[in-house]
Amino acid sequence: MKATRRHFLTTSGLAAGTAWSASGAASKLNVLFILTDDQRQDTVHARGNPAIQTPNLDGIVRSGTSFVNAYCMGGYSAAVCLPSRMMIHRGRSWFSAPEQPEGAPTLAGSMNEAGYVTCRIGKRFNEDLRSHKPFAFNTYVDQEMKTGTPGKLVADRAIEFLHGWKKDPAVGQGKPFFLHLAGPAPHDPRIAPPEYLARYDMNRMPLPPNYKPFHPFDNGELFIRDEKLAPWPRTEAEIRRQLRDYYAMITCMDEQFGRVFRVLREMGEYDNTILVFTEDQGIAIGSHGLMGKQNLYEHSMNAGITIAGPGIPRNRKSGAFAYLFDIFPTICDLVGMPAPGSLEGKSLLPILRGQATGVRDTIFLGYKDLQRAVRRGDWKLLRYPKINKTQLFDLRKDPYETRDLCADPHQTGRIGELMALMQQQQKLFGDTAPLTSEKPGRAEVDLEFFKSRQ
Ligand SMILES: [Ca+2]
């Protein structure tokens, strides 16, 4: 382990002043990049949720550094998975990522250039298909939903690849691997084998602290597909049942990742591998009376990024702001490969090295032309342009966003400053959506309003 660490520090970008060698693979370390689907940041035991069992993901969290203020920036589509994954693989915001010309940089393309054997195993639907093309190996596993065992098909194919990489020169080519696992779990339909369902008592599943029977105003997307996964009012019993299914699915998926880690250990490659674990975005499941991810609350857009590997600080949390599209340049930096200069993402390596406490001071979020949010420090402002509504939360005192401070006269100045910051961020990312409507829609809703749409 000591030798591995020394090797890493002298061959990768983690060592200050180490130049990337253009002669081939800059580092002999492998990279395993796990991207889960619709997994809330708080559904990992080691991230502070005692109610869920995730021993294998816990292992990554305990052996690495977790960025707890990382975000999916939002998206132009109700299938937020698609823009989220496009941002990750193109290293750009959702405003500019779709306009990139054919041949523009992708994470897999950069890893090919860095001398890696690139392999992706994951879903096809709601993915950025163009970013799949540069992978040397790509396997679609959408049929995993039909097996009834979340994560199994991804793990089976990953293990097949790893054996091939080790034993078959045509696959391994004497190069380190970049293995990207992007399966469809724990996205709905939420199916888990009975033994995993049995691990959770439906009647004792903790409700989210911001649970509500229905969302208190019209955010513009109250009846999209995800929101129809439970009737109105959202009852405590229904939310507990859905959380039971969700947690069971995550525990099952976690055990499948454990199979992959076991193979890596048996091959002697685990300590020689950088692990990156994140989710494409979160989901509501009862929080704020919502079910889906078509909103900008923390439970939906906050996504943890955990990075573990030789030389990376262990069992550490960083509060630094990050976007998921920072992963692309960060991985490049970790393997000592210069990131393409055109990316909007920023490398988090200076934070991992302890040379910086942050690389961004603002987080800007958006969903279609219906919602915008900005965060600076602990303050988060959300804006709903179609109804001219604003919310202000102090995330330090109110991490679950339950006390809107917009009507507080002491906050008038802060609201003005954050609205100006939002406009500045719009300019920065090329977002032209209006923040105000001349003829705003009706904001008020009640239970009858929801029932009439059921
Ligand atoms: Ca997703």
* 114-169 confidence digits (pLDDT tens): 999 999 999 999 999 999 999 999 999 999 988 999 999 999 999 999 999 999 99
* Average pLDDT over every residue of 87-113: 97
Q: Which of 361, 386, 421 is the last residue of a domain?
A: 361
In whole angstroms, give the CA distance from residue 57 to residue 308. 11
pLDDT bracket for residue 2 (50, 70, 90)? very low
Give the tens place of pLDDT for each residue, 42-62: 999 999 999 999 999 999 999
334, 31 in Cβ contact below 8 A?
yes
Report the distance separating Cα 122 and Cα 108, nearest Å: 14
The dihedral region occupied by 361, where left means phi > 0, alpha psi between -120 and 50, and beta the remainder, is alpha
Same domain, 64 and 169: yes
The answer for residues whose C-beta is within 8 angstroms of residue 365's C-beta and 6 or more apart is: 71, 73, 74, 296, 301, 371, 372, 373, 374, 375
Handedness of CA 248, 252, 257, 261 (dihedral sign): positive
161 alpha carbon – ligand 1 mean position (Å): 25
CA of 4 to the centre of ligand 1 (A): 35
Based on the fold, state whether residues 351 and 416 are members of the same structural domain: no
Give residue 380 CA to ligand 1 midpoint distance, Å.
23
Compute the distance from residue 421 Cα to the ligand 1 centre, in Å.
28
If you measure from the C-alpha of residue 355 to the centroid of ligand 1, how many angstroms do you get, rounded to a whole number?
33
pLDDT band for position 324 (50/70/90)?
very high
Same domain, residue pair 186 and 324: yes
Q: How many CA atoms lie within 13 A of 127 on its CB side?
A: 24
Instruction: For residues 262-282, give the mean pLDDT.
Output: 97
CATH code at 63? 3.40.720.10
The pLDDT, as a whole number, for residue 25 is 43
Helix axes 81-90, 327-334, angle to 10 degrees: 30
Let me know: does 280 contact 36? Beta carbons within 8 Å: yes
Do residues 354 and 436 both lie within one domain?
Answer: no
403 and 336 both lie in a single domain: no
Which helix (H) or strand (E) segment holds residue 351: the answer is helix 349-352
Q: φ and ψ at 259, to 5 degrees?
A: -65, -40
126 alpha carbon – ligand 1 mean position (Å): 8
Residue 60 Cα to ligand 1 middle (Å): 21
Q: How many Å apart are CA 319 and CA 302, to the nearest integer?
A: 12
Judged against a pLDDT cut of 80, whether residue 388 lies above it is answered with yes
Provide the pLDDT for residue 26: 45
Does residue 193 sit in the same domain as residue 282?
A: yes
Is residue 204 located within the same domain as residue 184? yes
Residue 11: per-residue pLDDT:
40
Beta strand spans in 17-63 (E)? 30-36
Ion ligand 1 — residues with CB < 5 Å: 37-38, 81, 280
Question: How many angstroms is it from 133 CA to the middle of ligand 1?
Answer: 21
| Structural domains in the chain (count) | 2
Give yes or no: residues 165 and 214 share one domain: yes
Residue 22: pLDDT above 50? no
CB–CB of 303/363 below 8 Å?
A: no
DSSP symbols for 143-155: THHHHSSTTHHHH
User: How remote is the CA of residue 25 from the centroid of ligand 1, in Å?
Assistant: 32
For residue 398, the enclosing domain spans 364-452
Mean pLDDT confidence for 193-220 = 97
Å from CA of 80 to ligand 1 middle: 6
From 212-216, 236-240, 445-449, the region with the lowest mean pLDDT: 445-449
The CA 284 to ligand 1 mean position distance, Å, reads 12
CA of 417 to the centre of ligand 1 (A): 32
Q: How far is the CA of 150 from the centre of ligand 1 (A)?
A: 15
Q: Measured between alpha carbons, how far is 180 from 159 in angstroms, rounded to an integer?
A: 12
Query: What does pLDDT average to over the chain?
Result: 94
In angstroms, what is the span from residue 300 Cα to ligand 1's centroid? 10
CA of 85 to the centre of ligand 1 (A): 9
Ligand 1 centroid–CA 7 distance in Å is 36
CA 108 / ligand 1 centre spacing (Å): 20
Q: Measure 413 CA to ligand 1 centroid, in angstroms.
A: 36
What percent of the chain shows pLDDT beyond 90? Answer: 92
Residues 344 and 391 in one domain: no
Instruction: Report CA(10)–ligand 1 centroid distance (Å).
Output: 37
The last residue of a domain, from among 336, 361, 386:
361
What does the pLDDT look like over 394-414, one tens digit per residue?
999 999 999 999 999 999 999
CA of 152 to the centre of ligand 1 (A): 18
For residues 34-42, average pLDDT: 97
pLDDT computed for residue 8 by the predictor: 42
How sure is the predictor about 453, in pLDDT bands with cuts at 50, 70 and 90? confident
Mean pLDDT of 262-287: 98
Q: Which residue has the higher pLDDT, 14 or 300?
A: 300
Nearest to 131 by CA among 160, 110, 157, 162: 110
Cβ(289)–Cβ(89) below 8 Å: no
Kindly give the distance from the C-alpha atom of residue 186 to the centroid of ligand 1, in angstroms, as a whole number.
Answer: 9
For residue 248, the Cα-to-chain-centroid distance in whole angstroms is: 20
Does residue 18 surpass a pLDDT of 80? no
pLDDT for residue 1 is more than 90? no
Answer yes or no: do 254 and 389 share one domain. Answer: no
CATH number, domain at 422? Answer: 3.30.1120.10
250 shares a domain with 368 = no
State residue 27's pLDDT score: 53
Distance between CA atoms of residues 191 and 310, nearest Å: 36
**What does DSSP say about strands 74-75 and 363-367: parallel, antiparallel, or unpaired?**
parallel
Complete DSSP assignment for 297-309: SHHHHB--EEEES
Provide the angle, in degrees to the nearest 10, between the axes of the packed helices 236-266 and 55-62. Answer: 70
Are the CB atoms for 225 and 292 separated by under 8 Å? yes
Q: What spacing in Å lies between the alpha carbon of 26 and ligand 1's midpoint?
A: 32
Whose CA is closest to 60, among 42, 70, 45, 38?
Answer: 45
Are 409 and 291 part of one and the same domain?
no
In the reported structure, the alpha carbon of residue 39 is separated from the centroid of ligand 1 by a whole-number distance in angstroms of 8
What is the DSSP code string of 371-435?
Answer: EEEEEETTEEEEEETTTTEEEEEETTT-TT-----TT-GGGHHHHHHHHHHHHHHHHHHT----S
Q: Which of 331, 361, 391 is the last residue of a domain?
A: 361
How far away, in angstroms, is 188 Cα from ligand 1 center? 10
